[in-house]
Amino acid sequence: MLFNSYPFLLFLPIVFAAYWAFGRRTQNVVLLAASYVFYGFWDWRFLGLIVLSSLVDFVAGQAIQSGRRRRMWLGASLLVNLGALAVFKYLDFGIESLAALLRTLGFDAHPATLGIVVPVGISFYTFQTLSYTLDVYRGRVRATQDPLAFFAFVAFFPQLVAGPIERAKNLLPQFLRDRVFDPELATDGCRQMLYGLLLKVVVADNLALVADAAYQAPDQADGWTLLFATWAFAFQIYADFAGYSHIAIGCARLFGFSLMRNFATPYFSRSPAEFWRRWHISLSTWFRDYVYIPLGGNRVAPLRASFNVLVTFVSSGLWHGAGLTFVVWGGFHGLLVALQARLAPDADERPLEGRTLTSPRELGRLILTFQLVCVGWVFFRAKSLADAWLVLRTISSGIFTALPHGASPALLVIPPLLVLEWWQRDAPHGFARLGGTRPARWGLYATALLALALFGQVQTVPFVYFQF
C-alpha cells in the first residue's frame, strides 16, 4: 500500500479509530493486524518472511537473555535474517557476477538466474529485527517477554517498508507502555505527513521525469542535460526518501509513537562525513554501531581505520542494491570520508542550526560537498558502470564547451525547497514552525494541498527506496 494512494487514505482513519478505542495490549493487536494488511497489499505471500524473522528473533532474544547457547542463537538470528537477504536480494546478483568473472577468465558461462522477486522492505525490517538480537547479545537491551509487542515492533506499518530503521532500544519500549494521545503531537504529525507528501509528489516525482529521461539513454544526452539530470536526481532521491520518512514519522505520531529522525537537511553539509550524519541517519548509525565500531572504528591505526570506513561504506552500498554500481557508490563515499579523516580531521563543522553561513569558504565547502555527493549519485542512478563512466565523461567534457542549456522547468521546484529547508533547518521537518495563528496554519494547509493539486505529478513513480 502506498502512502500516496487512496487505499491508505481509507486505511489510516480506520486503523486510527480502531486503535484508540482500546487499551495497550489490544492496541498492539490492532497495529500488528494493520501492519500485516498494509504489507499484504503488495504481496501477502511474503508476510511469511516477516513472521519467520520476528519469530526467530523473539525466541533468539529470549534464549540469549537466559544465557543458554548465546552464540548459537545469535548465529541463528544472523543466519535467518542475512540468509533471507542473501537469497532474495543477492543470489541472482551473485550468480550473474560469478558468470561474468568466469567469462572474463575465458570460460563459457551463461547460467540462468532465478529471477527472484525481492520482497518490499526486506532490507529494512531484517536490519531492524537483527539489531534487536545484536543488542540483546551485547546486553544493551533486555529481551522482551511480550511476543505481541515484539511482532508489532518488527512490522510497525509506518516504517515497515522503507524505514527509518528503528532500534529496539528506542521503539520497542514504546510498544510496552501505555500510549497517550497528544493532540499537539498528532497535529504536528499530520503536518509532517503533509510535508512528506509534498516532497514526494511535487518535488521527487517531477524531478524523476527529468532524471529518468536523461539516464534512460545517456549516450544521447549532452553534458549540460546530464548535469541537470544528476542534480535533479540528487533532489529527487532526497525528496523521495525524506518524504517517505516524514510521512512515516508523522503517521507514527498519530498512534503515540516517536520515531527517530532520518534526514537533517543533508545537502547543507560541508563535508562528506557531515553528509553521512545528516543522510539516512537510521542506516548510517546502524552501520556505524554494528559494522564500523565492531571492526575497531577509529581506535586503531590510521590505515586500519580507513579500511574500516571503506568496508562500512561498501557494505552500505551493497545494502542498497545487488549491483556493482552500488558497490562503487559506497566505495566512493568511503574513500571521501576516509580521505577527509586523514587530510582534514579537524574540519569546522559547527552546527548550522541557529546561524547563517558565516563565510564564503563555508558556502564553498557546502557546494563542493554537494557536487561530490552528486558524483556518487551518478553511480547510484546509472544502469551500469559503463553508463556511469559515460555520464561522468560527458558532463566533464560537455559543460566546458557549451553554455548552460536544456534545463527542465521541473528544476524550479528545487530553489523553494532549499529556501524552506534552510529556513526550517533547526526544525524536524519543513512545516514544523510555520503558521503561528490558526488562520495562518489553515492557510498553510490549504496552500500545501493546492500545491499538491497544481504541481503534483500525475504519473505514478514508486518510492525509490522500496526496491531496497
Partner 1 sequence: MQGRTLPYRFGLRVLAFVAALTALFALVDRTTPRWPPIWLARLLPELPEDLARLRSADGKPLFLGDSVLHTAAMNEPDRRNLVRMLAKELETDIVRVSHGASGMDRYLAQVRYLLRAGVRPSSLVVLVNPRTFGPTAERNPSWSFALTNRMYTRPLLSRLQAVLKWDFGIPDEDEFLATEIRIGETVLGPLGALTRPGLEDPPDDVIRNRYLSRYATDIRTSSRLRDLAALARLTADAELPTLFYITPIDVQSMKQFLSAEEFGHVQQNIRTLRAVLRDTGATFLDLSTLLPGGDFDHPRADPHEHLRSTGRLKCVRKLAEAVQQLEGQG
Note the residues at the interface with partner 1 (CB under 8 A): 2, 4-6, 9, 13, 16-17, 20, 180-181, 183, 186-187, 190, 201, 442, 445-446, 449-450, 452-454, 456-458, 460
Nearer to partner 1, 44 or 442 (CB): 442
Catalytic site includes residue 320: yes
User: C-alpha 382: how far from its chain's center?
Assistant: 19
Are the C-beta atoms of residues 215 and 382 closer than 8 Å to each other? yes
Least distance (Å) between residue 5 CB and partner 1: 5
Q: What is the CA radius of gyration of the chain?
A: 23
Nearer to partner 1, 251 or 273 (CB): 251
Burial class (CB in 10 A: 0-12, 13-18, 19+), 184: exposed
DSSP 372: H
Count how many residues are written for the chain: 468
Residue 233 CB, shortest distance to partner 1, in Å, is 21
The nearer residue to partner 1, 25 or 103, going by C-beta atoms, is: 25
Least distance in Å: CB of 452 to partner 1?
Answer: 6
Q: Which amino acid is at 365?
A: R
When the beta carbons of 343 and 454 are compared against partner 1, the nearer one is: 454
Catalytic residue among 110, 246, 280, 320: 320
412 CB-near residues (< 8 Å, 6+ apart): none
H or E stretch at 419: helix 414-423
- Nearest approach, Cβ of residue 121 and partner 1 (Å): 19
Rounded to whole angstroms, the maximal C-alpha distance in the chain is 72
Residues with Cβ < 8 Å from 239, sequence gap 6 or more?
Answer: 199, 200, 203, 204, 207, 417
Q: Which residues, other chains included, contact 390 with Cβ-Cβ below 8 Å and sequence gap of 6+? A: 218, 219
Q: Between 10 and 72, whose beta carbon lies closer to partner 1? A: 10
Q: Which one, 105 or 458, has the nearer CB to partner 1?
A: 458
Minimum CB–partner distance for residue 15 and partner 1 (Å): 11
Helix (H, G, I), strand (E, B), or coil: what is residue 76?
Answer: helix
DSSP state letters, 23-81: -HHHHHHHHHHHHHHHHHHHHGGGHHHHHHHHHHHHHHHHHHHHTSSHHHHHHHHHHHH
User: CB 237 → partner 1: shortest distance, Å?
Assistant: 20
Cite the active site residues: 320
